[in-house]
Structure 1
């Protein structure tokens, strides 16, 4: 099966605690199961479908498999040593690291560079996932 890589990238970017995304390999569509306790959405029909046809649905990487913190860390290390790197290294330490990182990226005028880096990281995760699951992709 061939799938548009951007569809996989979009699903990976949306990964969070409330939703688990799957690729339906028969239709090429991305479907999701919501955490019913948090969202109030009823998944019963899809949940049963996935349980009854486990070979038809491939689970996409979850938020915990994506390691957003590691992507931020790698971005910091990709910068030339200097004041920007030093400030961002400090920003990603401790509680509130994600918010401080984003604030510091904006303060330093690095948002375009960060968004390009982040997009490339998600694209690589999607490509690796497709390869690991025998899914051909196109753009």
Structure 2
């Protein structure tokens, strides 16, 4: 088992959120918890191509985008400024929702940027811990302990 304190949850959260479509993947060393980025043309060291199946590393497959989308919807619904919430919810309609949400937030509601980042980052780290538990890399109680120590932030 790995120790949670020695794992970069931000890196794992980034890997879980990575929806890009070029030939790459994020990997974790199950012995150390070190996260590595692999591409088909430069391997893991940035210079030497290697087949990902030859590596003794565990792939970190991204979580579907609808999970991350739900974070935005929850934020729009949960803020106390009803007008801002409606504009953010409207931005989530149709293709390009992620970009429109971000544009709406940064251009029209800068006071909501910090609370959005707090919610998004908290949920991303919780998902990272949950993923580690699901992979058998952390003790089964790690998620409950982490969630108790990192409750969702209050929304303005």
Same fold (TM over 0.5): yes
Residue matched to 1:111: 113
Given the superposition, is the C-alpha separation of residues 134 and 122 from structure 1 closer, same or farther in structure 2, using an over 3 Å criterion? same
Given the superposition, is the C-alpha separation of residues 20 and 12 from structure 1 closer, same or farther in structure 2, using an over 3 Å criterion? farther
User: Following the alignment from structure 1 to structure 2, what is the Cα–Cα distance between the partners of residues 78 and 6?
Assistant: 31
Q: What is the Cα deviation at residue 81 of structure 1? A: 6.4
Q: What SS does the corresponding residue of 1:83 show, helix, strand or coil?
A: helix
- For the aligned residues, what is the CA RMSD? 2.7
Residue matched to 1:94: 94
Residue matched to 1:49: 54
Q: What is the Cα deviation at residue 23 of structure 1? A: 1.1
* Structure 2, gaps ≥5 residues long: 147-156
Q: What is the Cα deviation at residue 46 of structure 1? A: 5.1
Please, which of 131, 135, 152 is the counterpart of residue 129 of structure 1?
131
Structure of higher RCO (CA pairs closer than 8 Å, 6+ residues apart): 1
Residue matched to 1:30: 35
User: Following the alignment from structure 2 to structure 1, what is the Cα–Cα distance between the partners of residues 131 and 91?
Assistant: 30
Q: What is the Cα deviation at residue 70 of structure 1? A: 2.0
